Each structure stands twice: as structure tokens, then as C-alpha cells.
Amino acid sequence: MQVKHAEQAQTNPRYKAAVRDLLLQLADDELCIGHRDSEWLGLAPDIEEDVAFSSIAQDEVGHAAFYLNLLRDLDGEDPDAAAFFRKSRDRRNAVLAERLNGDWAETIVRRYFYDVFDEIRTEALRESSYVPLARGVAKIRREERYHLMHFQLWFTRLSAAGGEARERMNRAVEGLWPEVKGCFSLGGWERQLVASAVISLDSNEMERRWLNRMKPVFAQAGLQWPGPLPMVNQDGRCGAHSSHLEELLQTMGEVVRQDPAARW
Amino acid sequence: MGNGRETEVMRALQEVKDPEIPAVSILELGMVNQATVTGHHVRVEVTPTFVGCPALDWIHGQIVEHLKKIPGIEEVEVVFVIDPPWTSDRITLEGRRKLESFGIAPPPKTEDPDPLNTVPRCPYCGADQGEVKNLFGPTACRSIYYCKHCRQPFEGMKAV
Ligand SMILES: [Zn+2]
């Protein structure tokens, strides 16, 4: 089955609801992580990273806007309102994406974990039955490739450096590991999403692929393998979030709330 | 509708430049999929270089402004699409030449597997022995390199 455009999706309420939920997962992940990236502006360890993080943040927020535009086509929701004014319980991002940046090691580890996950997820969307999504993802993957390359380089370099760098990397891995599983969750609509081929992999298979990709990188980088991924306490895909998201939304919406009708 | 009108549309689109690289038009960047004239109406299909390109509103405005100058054109419709996706291989030969003379190395071919180890020719001195300084540059579509021959940094378009 192929659903070529929003009007066609609207004729099937369950399909539409599942796609809507997935679009929010995608948009909210990219929006949160893009916002966290932007927090490094002016503070990154060197000028190159300042430039890199601003560029990457811009890409991610652009991707979030793209997904929110698909959402508007689907059910008329205003993209700006969805980005700025939705309550945290209506957000569908993984908790990993909302976390504070932490130190540089934690930033790099979170980013790399997320980008490998996102690569697997977007691969699973390339043949999506929802054609507008499949098309967008084809384009977005061409851009994400650069992010992944960048963070893989940092991840292996910092780990291989030994000393304090590797210590911090190990500490960052340990701190982030309990949140990783939350990325693979597809939320309340997983069965519908997989059954109607909106996405070609279920959460278990995405997790398996992620672990398979990560293991050799850990070995090569000389990092301790922390073992199986534990269950998460809060499933962000179902609207359960940490206080970090509340803080993020406060900051992100600070300007727009001063005058929601202002034009920029 | 007639060909004459469409040639005029193309000529007008050639006047719409990339706001960051005013030497190169959106046609030369390969951003225009098609332009169709029907009576007094013209529809231009544009594909952004990057999904999050912040210049799209500006480009939209420029297209409308330039096309409305054509006698007989009353309505200009601009649609942004990402299918087929823009790739840096769509930049025309003329576009590549203009980029280089503007001081920005044109992109390597997208089949080149490894951007971390692919360095374009220096647009200033033409030397090949450069290195990647930063995959990310001042705009989403550019990287920063360093030329070991003339010893200065230069920018290049990403292969995307
Ligand atoms: Zn040179």
C-alpha cells in the first residue's frame, strides 16, 4: 500500500493517527537536539565547533520544521504553535534528546548515540508507505550523513586520546546508557506503524541494529561496553519526560511568548 | 503560452541570485525544477539546497519580483519541493565556474565516498594539496578547507 498524499491518509483515521504520532517523534527529537546544539554557540571548545554546531543546529531545526509541515498537511496543525506551545506531555521526543548537554564528552556521546539511531530510523523510513515522508527522508539523509561523520570522528578521537578524555567519555557513556533504549520506542502506535509499513523496522530490530553498530566502535575506541540497555523510566514517545524538557521549552519559547503575534 | 514567454521567464530567473553567493543564480545552482507559463500565470517549482535553508522566503520574494516585471505575467506561483531532491551535482558548469571565481570551490562529485578526505582544488591558487579544516562552514551548504600551498583557508560547496 502506498499513501501518496495527506488527503489519502485522512481517509483512514488509524493510519493518520499513527503517522501523526511518528511525525511528532521525528520533529520533537530534531527540535530538542537542535536546540541543545544551539546552546553551544559561543561556548564550544574552539571556533570550528562553534561553526559546526551552529550549522548542525540549523539543519536539525530545519528538519523539525519539515516534519511539522507534513503534520500541518495532515491535520492542519500550525507548525509554529506545535513547536513552541505544545505541552511537554504532548511531546514525543526520546528523553535522550532533551537532556542537558553536560560537558563536551557527554555532548559528543549523546550526539553520536542519537545520530546512529537516527540513521537506522531514517533508513527504515526510506520506503515508507507514507510517500511524503519517504521523499523528505531521502533528502534529509543526505544532510544527516555529515553530522554522523562529524560525531563519529569526535567520539573515536576523544576516546582514543586516553587520559582525562577517555575517563570523561566512559563517564558520559555510563550516564547516558540508561536513556538510550527510549530512542527505539515507537510509542503507542508501534503496531499500526509497522503493520501499515510506515516504518519498516520495529523497536526491537532498531535496537538490535544499533547495538551491532555500536559494539565494534566501542572496541575500536577502547571504551568499556556497558552491557545490555536497561528499560527506561520514562518513555518520551508516550509523553513522559524529565524536568530538562520543561526547562528547554521555557527557554525555547521565551521570545515568542512575549508577543505571539509578532512577525519576523 | 509559447516559447518566447518561457525564454523570458528563464532570463528573469537568471537574475535571481543566491543571497549568500550573489555571483551565482538559482538556475546555475540547479534549484529550479521547472517553470510553466499558462496565460498570465507562471508556476515555478524550486528545490531548496538544504531542507533548513533560511533564505527560501527571500528567494521566493525575488522570484516574484523579477517575474512580475515581464509584460503579461500577472500571477507568480512559487512552490518549494524536495522531490526530486536537490543534489550538488545539479550545479551547472557555468555555476561551478562562477563559484570558483567567487572564491568558493565547487563541490566534488557526490559519488566521492569520503568527504573527510576529499579536498577540492584551491579556488585562489589552483593547488590540490589542501586539507579539510571543518566539514561545516558559514552556511549549511559549505565546508572550510585549508590550502597548504598558498597557506590560506578557503570555502567549498559540500557534496550533498
Ligand atoms: Zn591555495
Sequence ranges of the domains in chain A: 2-255
Q: pLDDT (tens digit, 9 = 90+) per residue, B137-160?
A: 988 899 999 999 999 999 999 999
Q: How far is CA A109 from CA A112, A132, A171, A206, B38, in A?
A: 5, 32, 10, 19, 54
Sequence ranges of the domains in chain B: 6-80, 104-157
How does the average pLDDT of chain A come out, rounded? 96
Residues forming a β-bridge with B45: B34, B79
CB contact under 8 A, A59 and B52: yes
Local confidence band at A40 (pLDDT 50, 70, 90 cut-offs)? very high
pTM: 0.94
pLDDT at A201: 98
Higher pLDDT: B111 or A131? It is A131
pLDDT at A151 over 90: yes
Kindly report the nearest CA distance between residue A48 and chain B, in angstroms. Answer: 6
Q: pLDDT (tens digit, 9 = 90+) per residue, B44-83?
A: 999 999 998 889 999 999 999 999 999 999 999 999 998 8
Domain B6-80 has CATH 3.30.300.130: yes
Alpha-carbon span A113 to A223, nearest angstrom: 14
pLDDT at A116: 98
- DSSP E strands, B20-160: 32-38, 41-46, 75-80, 104-105, 130-134, 142-147, 152-157
Q: List chain B residues with CB under 8 Å of A111.
A: none
Query: DSSP string of A33-63?
Result: HHHHHHTTTTTSSSHHHHHHHHHHHHHHHHH
Q: Tell me whether B116 touches chain A (CB under 8 Å).
A: yes
CB contact under 8 A, A55 and B133: no
Per-residue pLDDT, averaged over A257-262, amounts to 87
Residues forming a β-bridge with A110: none
- CB neighbours (10 Å) of residue B65? 13
Kindly report the nearest CA distance between residue A69 and chain B, in angstroms. Answer: 12
Residue with cell 540549523: A58
Report angle CA A142, A264, A245 to the nearest 5 degrees: 60
Residues forming a β-bridge with B145: B132, B154
Local confidence band at A226 (pLDDT 50, 70, 90 cut-offs)? very high
pLDDT at B2 over 70: no
Percent pLDDT > 90 in chain B is: 78
Residues forming a β-bridge with B25: B17
Q: How far is CA A172 from CA A110, A117, A180, A183, A217, in A?
A: 8, 17, 12, 17, 15
pLDDT at B98 over 60: yes
- Cα–chain-centroid distance for residue B129? 26
Rg (CA), chain B: 17
CB-CB contact of A134 with A126 (8 Å): yes
Q: Which CATH number fits domain A2-255: 2.60.120.10, 3.90.1110.10, 3.60.20.10, 1.20.1260.10?
A: 1.20.1260.10
pLDDT at B1: 46
The b-or-e profile of A108-124 (16+ CB within 10 A means b, else e) is bbbbbbbbbbbbbbbeb
| Residue in B with minimal Cα distance to A138 | B85
pLDDT at B5: 86
C-alpha cell at A111: 550526539
Q: Tell me whether B134 touches chain A (CB under 8 Å).
A: yes
| Residue in B with minimal Cα distance to A140 | B51
Higher pLDDT: A32 or A264? It is A32
Alpha-carbon span A152 to A156, nearest angstrom: 6
CB-CB contact of A105 with A169 (8 Å): yes
Per-residue pLDDT, averaged over A55-72, amounts to 97
Cβ-proximal residues to A7 (8 Å cutoff; 6+ apart), any chain: none
Per-residue pLDDT, averaged over B8-20, amounts to 94
